[in-house]
């Protein structure tokens, strides 16, 4: 069974804090992704990585950075959290081969106060 684990289901942080969201997959997949999901907007891609130490900007990278030091772990970093970053954050991964689907974690609901 495909498994992707996000470190927290719910997180509350304050404006200006540096926030780390962790994602771990056990499938040895090359590609990993971070999305945010907001009502009426669907999932929007923040960053993705196709290999260790590699990263590419998605559609809304501003205010975020990422780290991929090991193949199984992809971290999303909010450098200085702001209230407009309150959202549901979803991590996903997929194999680099063919047209395989992305597999998602359960998400982290992040509130910035």
Partner 1 sequence: GQNIDQPTEMTATEGAIVQINCTYQTSGFNGLFWYQQHAGEAPTFLSYNVLDGLEEKGRFSSFLSRSKGYSYLLLKELQMKDSASYLCAVRAEFSGGYNKLIFGAGTRLAVHP
**Chain residues that interact with partner 1, rule: CB under 8 A:** 35, 40-45, 48, 50, 56, 58, 90, 99, 101-107
Least distance between partner 1 and beta carbon 106 (Å):
5
Least distance between partner 1 and beta carbon 87 (Å):
14
- In this structure, how many other beta carbons lie within 10 angstroms of the beta carbon of residue 79? 12
Least distance between partner 1 and beta carbon 90 (Å):
7
Q: How far is CA 47 from the centre of its chain?
A: 7
How many angstroms separate the CA atoms of 83 and 74, rounded? 23
33 and 91 Cβ atoms separated by less than 8 Å = yes
How many angstroms separate the CA atoms of 46 and 42, rounded? 13
Which of 13, 44 has the CB closer to partner 1? 44
Which of 84, 101 has the CB closer to partner 1? 101
Which of 14, 54 has the CB closer to partner 1? 54
């Amino acid at each position: 069974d495909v498994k992707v684990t996000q470190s927290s289901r719910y997180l509350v942080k304050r404006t200006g804090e540096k926030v780390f969201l962790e994602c771990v997959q056990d499938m040895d997949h090359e590609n990993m992704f971070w999305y945010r999901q907001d009502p009426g907007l669907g999932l929007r891609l923040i960053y993705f990585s196709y290999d260790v130490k590699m990263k590419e900007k998605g559609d809304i990278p501003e205010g975020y950075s990422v780290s991929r030091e090991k193949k199984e772990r992809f971290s999303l970093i909010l450098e200085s959290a702001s209230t407009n970053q309150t959202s549901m954050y979803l991590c996903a991964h997929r194999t680099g081969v063919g047209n395989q689907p992305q597999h998602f974690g359960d998400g982290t609901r992040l509130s910035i106060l």
